[in-house]
Amino acid sequence: MRRRLTAVLVATATILTVASCASEAPPAGSAGAAPEITLTFAGDVHFEDRVAALLDAPDTTFGPVVEHLADGDLTLVNLETPITDRGEPEEKNYLFRAPDSAVPALAAAGVDIVSLANNHTMDYGRQGLADTMVALERGGLGAVGAGEDIETAFMPVRRTVEGVDVAVFAFSQVDELAEEWAATADRSGMAMAFDTERAYAAVRAAGADSDLVVVLPHWGGEYDRCPTARQRDFAAGLVDAGADIIVGAHSHVLQGAGRSGDAYVAYGLGNFLWYSSGLDPPFSARAGVLHLTVRGRAVVGSTFIPTVTTDRGRPRPLSGWQANLARHNFDALRGCAHLDPVPGR
């Protein structure tokens, strides 16, 4: 059961793998052993089209997948929509937004922290961003990757879990409207990955006073199952700066996950609560819930629960041969991502 969590929110800006695995180490409860915690991740979430009707009952919006989503100490997703009924629409092809009921829906699903560093958070401008941050704060959810200025946008959300101090960052590497949406010294906005030195410096500083550093980038080519060179370069820089876990979003399909040196990288977890449906190409309805078991700064175990979005937009966990095939396919993505298995697999 979840919520061994002792949470303190310090800053508000605020087809498929991997069976369980663990390396040999002293039992978590033995003398001198580091606490063992579980972090849970899922991909993109919005409430558009068919998904909007699910908000009529926020307590059940995510459906049965909640037993997996809420099974851990800290749950993080990418919130691919502003929460607002105000603001002016931006000039772009796809515009998303959600009502206030999105917040209790996220909370009821066990979500603790959402990334706002993506290419839809500011679809309704800075007014929409401000409304989103207020709604999330009132609902008790952490928001990361955006803020009232550049300093707060690049600040982590911090949580303490079983005595482990966790710092979470989010950065967007999507070029569309990047300059216009970037936070600056005198305007609100998002933490942009093109400001790499600021991103690396923020991660480096958090590594010095936190037990675990998690980064949620928004990056990659849409419908590209292999990470781009730009993704890999940014991931390498984040790891060099001290990131321990990197879990990305944006490509709308699953990308590879595994170890990169001492860190764990999952390049993309696909569309989780979304208006795609079915198992067919372009595979944009395939996603999953990723559980990472962490001891110290190391991921010592991982479990992937593959899902597919239904015709209502809910993620449905796969079972039997479909789940086995999904895990096999997710495992295979590790090759073009140039990642290694978690030790002990």
Domain ranges of the chain: 5-332
Q: H or E element: which one contains 329?
A: helix 320-332
pLDDT band at 278 (very low <50, low <70, confident <90, very high): low
Pick the more confident residue, 21 or 288: 288
Mean pLDDT of the chain: 90
pLDDT exceeds cutoff 70 at 18: no
| pLDDT tens track for 329-345 | 999 999 999 999 987 53
What pTM was computed for the model?
Answer: 0.90
pLDDT band at 30 (very low <50, low <70, confident <90, very high): very low
Closest CA to 130 of 194, 86, 73: 86
Sign of the C-alpha dihedral computed for residues 95, 132, 171 and 341 taken in this order: negative
Pick the more confident residue, 149 or 310: 149
State the pLDDT at residue 272: 96
Pick the more confident residue, 102 or 26: 102
pLDDT band at 283 (very low <50, low <70, confident <90, very high): confident
**Contact between residue 161 and residue 6 where contact means Cβ atoms under 8 Å apart:** yes
Determine the average pLDDT of the residues in 323-332: 96
Return the structure tokens found at 5: 């969590």
pLDDT exceeds cutoff 60 at 13: no
| pLDDT tens track for 66-82 | 999 999 999 999 999 99
pLDDT exceeds cutoff 80 at 26: no
pLDDT exceeds cutoff 80 at 7: no
Contacts of 148 (CB under 8 A, 6+ apart): 13, 183, 188
pLDDT exceeds cutoff 70 at 35: yes
How are the residues of the chain apportioned to helix, strand and coil, as percentages rounded to the nearest 5? 25, 30, 45
Determine the average pLDDT of the residues in 273-283: 78
pLDDT band at 12 (very low <50, low <70, confident <90, very high): very low
DSSP string across 265-327: EE--B-EEESS--SSSTT-TTEEEEEEEEEETTEEEEEEEEEEEE-TTS-EEE--HHHHHHHH
Class of domain 5-332: alpha beta
Pick the more confident residue, 313 or 33: 313
| pLDDT tens track for 291-312 | 999 999 999 999 999 999 998 9
| pLDDT tens track for 200-259 | 999 999 999 999 999 999 999 998 999 999 999 999 999 999 999 999 999 999 999 999
Return the structure tokens found at 34: 């580091």
